[in-house]
Amino acid sequence: GNSVTQMEGPVTLSEEAFLTINCTYTATGYPSLFWYVQYPGEGLQLLLKATKADDKGSNKGFEATYRKETTSFHLEKGSVQVSDSAVYFCALSSDYGGSQGNLIFGKGTKLSVKP
Amino acid sequence: DGGITQSPKYLFRKEGQNVTLSCEQNLNHDAMYWYRQDPGQGLRLIYYSQIVNDFQKGDIAEGYSVSREKKESFPLTVTSAQKNPTAFYLCASTIREYYGYTFGSGTRLTVV
């Protein structure tokens, strides 16, 4: 079945460091891929998404490229800030014009950025 | 502005009581979802509904119940049968999974 695997945390970085959070997936068909961010005590917010191979999603300095050949959707940011401290979730949707399925979430990666 | 509203933000329950968590959306989304999140854990699906008057069990439905009488509303009842209800509960909705979910801000339930 479909699944998402993301790197375990926590990840601790210094401000202005480069961030990579790995996410790989298993899916049939043509899934859409998502990154969500959850700040402490809040719900999840959509950070970025990509709907087809080689698409790059980007938002707030974060980027992720949909790589079908490596079944990956790694999240990157060139220079993190303290305000980026949060939990990041990778997710996929197997639905593409067909019957509705559910989003499948990774387990989340906690990022802490130190000043 | 359109959005999804969960209430209350904090809820306290005595053992043996049922409590109901509210989830309302004005996004005209067909599908709605309830997730449970424990500290340091990921999301676990409790129930979901893809259309009014219909809903399906998720991975951890035992001890929970839902209704979907209106498109806008998907309340979750945590019953006394749920042995460990203390958790953070998240509601979400979507017009279609392909586009991703919109989440509410969550309800933190504590058993006292």
Residues of A with CB under 8 A from a CB of B: 32, 34, 36, 41-46, 49, 51, 89, 91, 93-97, 100-103, 105-108, 110
Instruction: Pick the residue from chain B with its C-alpha nearest to A47.
Output: B100
Chain B contact set for A106 (CB, 8 A): 42
Between residues B81 and A20, the one the model is more confident about: A20
Distance in Å, alpha carbon of B78 to nearest chain A alpha carbon: 19
Q: Mean per-residue pLDDT for A65-79?
A: 97
Q: B4, B25, B43, B99: best mutation site toward chain A, by most A Cβ within 10 Å?
A: B43
Q: Are strands B87-94 and B102-103 parallel, antiparallel or unpaired?
A: antiparallel
Q: How far apart are CA B69 and CA B53, in angstroms?
A: 6
In this predicted structure, what is the pLDDT of residue A61?
97
In this predicted structure, what is the pLDDT of residue A101?
62
Token pair listed for B61: 């439905």
Paired with B36 in beta bridges are B44, B89
With 80 as the cut, is the pLDDT of residue B97 above it? no
The segment with the largest mean pLDDT, out of A7-11, A26-30, A85-89, B15-19, is: A85-89
Token pair listed for A105: 């979430």
Helix, strand, coil percentages, rounded to 5, for chain B: 5, 50, 45
Alpha-carbon distance values, B78 to B8, B40, B82, B87, B98 (Å): 14, 21, 7, 11, 29
End-to-end CA distance of chain B: 36
In this predicted structure, what is the pLDDT of residue A36?
98
Q: How far apart are CA A18 and CA A14, in angstroms?
A: 9
Q: Is B31 near chain A, with CB under 8 Å?
A: yes
In this predicted structure, what is the pLDDT of residue A95?
54
Token pair listed for B95: 């017009």
Q: Mean per-residue pLDDT for B82-88?
A: 93
Q: Taking the CA of residue B97 as centre, how many other CA atoms within 13 Å lie in the half-sphere pointing to its CB?
A: 23
Mean pLDDT rounded to a whole number for chain A: 92
Q: How many residues make up chain B in this entry?
A: 112
The answer to whether the CB of A106 falls within 8 A of the CB of A23 is yes
Share of chain B above pLDDT 70, in %: 99
Paired with A19 in beta bridges are A77
Among B6, B42, B98, beta carbon nearest to A107 = B42
